[in-house]
Structure 1
Amino acid sequence: MNRLLSNLKNEVEQIKVPEDKLDAAIKRAIKKGDKKKWSWGKKIAFFNSAAVLLVSLLIGSAFVSPAMAEVASKIPYLNQVFQSRDVGTLIHEELKNKGYKIQGIGVMYSPRKTLTIDMKGSEQYIDDVKEEVKQIAKDVLESKGYDAYRIEVNKAVEPDPDPETREEVKNFDQLYKKITKELKSRKLNFVSMGITLKPKTISIEVPDTEARLDEVRKTVHQVLEKEGLKKFSVEIRSVKLEAKQKEDKWAHIVGEIAEGLMAKKEYKVTGISYSLQHEALQITLTTSVQSGDPEAKKHGKKIEQTIQQFLESKEMKDWVEDQRYGIVVYSKDKKKIN
């Protein structure tokens, strides 16, 4: 892998890169390289900065040179996916930079794998730019090797909440900040906080090392009372911090595996899930392959080996650590094929 990155570095050094894109890539690499702590239940990757920089330059754009593409082909596929930004972000940035009025981008896997682009503006405007937008999205997908998605461009549907809900949503951010400030001022530890409007509930997760649950509840109620929001209920849940961190970490890893395998036709993956119990992780995948297909077992093994290669790679060592895991691949008719 070191030789591969050295070759990649040589390729990059011979190609002119716009200064603004280079600076942005360096900042992303440093951000990934510096943060080694859990924050808000999410861990930031800390790969070698140079390696991340090179891969970001290579994969982070919809347009790559044939020379760089050839070098990239030698990097394991899922490692490319993991070290680059998600495809929705890349498409959104590309369209925004070109001045298109984008509301949001999403991916659906059922009943068909579809990438949806919601746009703001009149019906006429959307009709005029639809094909251009589709082509840009297609170019980004192709740059990542994704060929399983169909692309839809739709007019964004603006939510129309009732006046009371609209006002509460408007005040959501301020309420969150005030509760957070008060908890921190009293040195009360919490992991996460969520606010729902129907029913009106403040949900707070605190680490199992925090014994002052009654004080946390009392503090939140005091803020609510001060804000005239007495109708809110408060739910406090104690969580094992280490277990939550591990759960969040694997949610991220499995999410990257899902994006990579479900976005390429060759893998024929239709679904992926995982469970983390009794210190053992199991990743379960479903495919569109029939168990009676003569190539079914071979295909199941290919998927298993692709994931193993990724999880056991040098770049994933700090993420996977010594976690025991198993991989199960099912056919369309729910038979194990690996």
Structure 2
Amino acid sequence: MRNKWKYPSHHSELNQLRFKEKQMDYVLNTVQADPCPDMTNPKKKIIFKRLSYLTTAAAALFMLIIGSTHFSLDMAKAAAKIPYFSLFIKQEEYKYALYDSIQNVINEHQYQVVDLDVSIPKKKITVSLLGSKAEVKTIKADVIANINEELVSQDFGKYKILVKKGERPDPGPELTQEEEKYITDSVELEKKILHLLAQHNYTPAFPIEARINSMENFIYIALPNTESKQRVTELKELLNTVTKDYGEFRMRITSIDMKAREQELRWGNNIIGILAQGLMSNKSFQVTGFSYSFHPYPLQIKVKTSVQSTDPKAKELAEEMINEMKVFIQTHELTKDVRNDEYKVIIYGKDKEIILEE
């Protein structure tokens, strides 16, 4: 049977990956066989626990090239024709697992860390510690040794670690008694409003907001658009009663299309976040902005790029982005509940003209 997975014969960045034939074969064989990862090896448990949504093919490729100083998601995608967002999720989960390992060391040794910066492609970590220069210098060698020992034990390999003196972040001004009372009253009023809504069978479409401060007193409630005008009027009267001890309020009661709200709940911040961060992280996509709206229905996603809409390659670039989004939405485990959802994607050029709309 013909192998559906293959490496492109010509790609400007492929040679930078420094793949050998046996490494390419390993990745392609993994794609075809799709075996379960070896969870019996205790050293690999943390990594694979955090990579639960990753395709085995993407994992195999990523593990082979993650240490390369030339690594980029675009290069990896080109190398094995693996869906871009699968590799992006893999990178993020790998990064979180790496941070977990470092945090374990920090907690165990009670290091006073005020800032931590990690570059996976450069295999470099910068740790900023509280204390005098002399104190930081005294424990510097131990910090480097302990972090690298943990990383090696979890199969991340050794990193170049820079330990330096950090500064305690400014906590900001303390709250005044008046500001503390505003917060207490806001929380108290919100609880009363929630009780009132439940008592009178109102189901808010979004979390309510009750805000009391020196600028204004404000209440926001979103109701399903199935509520009658009479019920909305009655709610306003009930709110006037429950707020009378807190002063006058500006109230905003909106009507929400529950079909749109249900779609919003299905997609959540997770799927939208992956699309936004994934597109922005890939330099070849040249994305400069990402926005979305579920209201009105259906979901509309807008992507801004630094490419002129008249550029001969603009449409090809837009098609590639939309195709990668479609593949992710239609095939990834995370998106199984939204595959039949209606949505629209609009790609804009630098000149604010539409390049492609689907």
After TM superposition, the score normalised by the length of structure 2 is 0.55
> Which residue does 2:232 correspond to in 1?
213
The SS at the match of 2:276 is helix
Aligned residues of 2:46 and 2:97 also touching (Cα < 8 A): no
Summarize deviations over 1:177-201 as a string: whole Å, max 9, x none.
3332332233332222012333211
The SS at the match of 1:202 is strand
1:184-199 aligned within 5 A: 184-191=198-205, 192-196=207-211, 197=213, 198-199=215-216
Displacement of 1:244 in angstroms is: 2.5
Cα distance in structure 2, aligned partners of 1:65 and 1:221: 61
Cα distance in structure 1, aligned partners of 2:177 and 2:263: 41
Aligned length: 277
> Which residue does 2:347 correspond to in 1?
328
> Which residue does 2:192 correspond to in 1?
178
1:77 aligns with 2:84: yes
1:158 aligns with 2:171: yes
Where does the alignment leave 5 or more consecutive residues of structure 2 unmatched? 1-28, 68-75, 117-125, 157-165
Displacement of 1:297 in angstroms is: 4.0
> Which residue does 1:47 correspond to in 2?
none
Displacement of 1:319 in angstroms is: 0.9
1:1-338 aligned within 5 A: 10-13=36-39, 15-16=41-42, 53-55=52-54, 65-66=63-64, 76-79=83-86, 81=88, 97-99=104-106, 156-160=169-173, 161-191=175-205, 192-196=207-211, 197=213, 198-211=215-228, 212-225=231-244, 228-247=245-264, 249=266, 252=269, 253-275=271-293, 281-290=299-308, 295-313=313-331, 315=333, 316-330=335-349, 332-338=350-356
Cα distance in structure 1, aligned partners of 2:307 and 2:52: 37
Displacement of 1:309 in angstroms is: 1.8
User: Kindly tell me: are residues 20 and 312 of structure 1, through their superposed partners in 2, closer, same or farther at Cα, counting changes over 3 Å?
Assistant: closer
User: Kindly tell me: are residues 186 and 290 of structure 1, through their superposed partners in 2, closer, same or farther at Cα, counting changes over 3 Å?
Assistant: closer
Aligned residues of 1:183 and 1:219 also touching (Cα < 8 A): no
Cα distance in structure 2, aligned partners of 1:92 and 1:297: 38
After TM superposition, the score normalised by the length of structure 1 is 0.58
Where does the alignment leave 5 or more consecutive residues of structure 1 unmatched? 26-51, 106-116, 144-152
Deviates more, 1:236-245 or 1:169-178: 169-178
The SS at the match of 1:13 is coil
2:283 aligned partner, one-letter code:
K
User: Kindly tell me: are residues 276 and 218 of structure 1, through their superposed partners in 2, closer, same or farther at Cα, counting changes over 3 Å?
Assistant: closer
Larger Cα Rg: Structure 1 or Structure 2?
A: 2
Percent of paired sites with the same residue: 23
Displacement of 1:257 in angstroms is: 0.8
The SS at the match of 1:11 is coil
1:238 aligned partner, one-letter code:
S
Displacement of 1:317 in angstroms is: 4.4
Cα distance in structure 1, aligned partners of 2:328 and 2:84: 8
Cα distance in structure 2, aligned partners of 1:324 and 1:65: 34
Cα distance in structure 1, aligned partners of 2:355 and 2:253: 43
Aligned residues of 2:309 and 2:353 also touching (Cα < 8 A): yes
Displacement of 1:310 in angstroms is: 1.8
Displacement of 1:333 in angstroms is: 3.8
Cα distance in structure 1, aligned partners of 2:55 and 2:188: 36
Cα distance in structure 2, aligned partners of 1:176 and 1:238: 20
Summarize deviations over 1:145-171 as a string: whole Å, max 9, x none.
xxxxxxxx9864434244312332244
Q: What is the RMSD of the two structures over their aligned residues, measured on CA atoms?
A: 5.3
Aligned residues of 1:268 and 1:289 also touching (Cα < 8 A): yes
Summarize deviations over 1:44-82 as a string: whole Å, max 9, x none.
xxxxxxxx845399999xxx8549999xx7762324656
Q: Which has the higher contact order (CA 8 A, sep 6+)?
A: 1
Displacement of 1:296 in angstroms is: 4.0
Summarize deviations over 1:262-293 as a string: whole Å, max 9, x none.
12223221112235677555433222335576
Cα distance in structure 2, aligned partners of 1:95 and 1:183: 46
Cα distance in structure 2, aligned partners of 1:299 and 1:183: 49
The SS at the match of 2:178 is helix
Deviates more, 1:74-83 or 1:281-290: 74-83
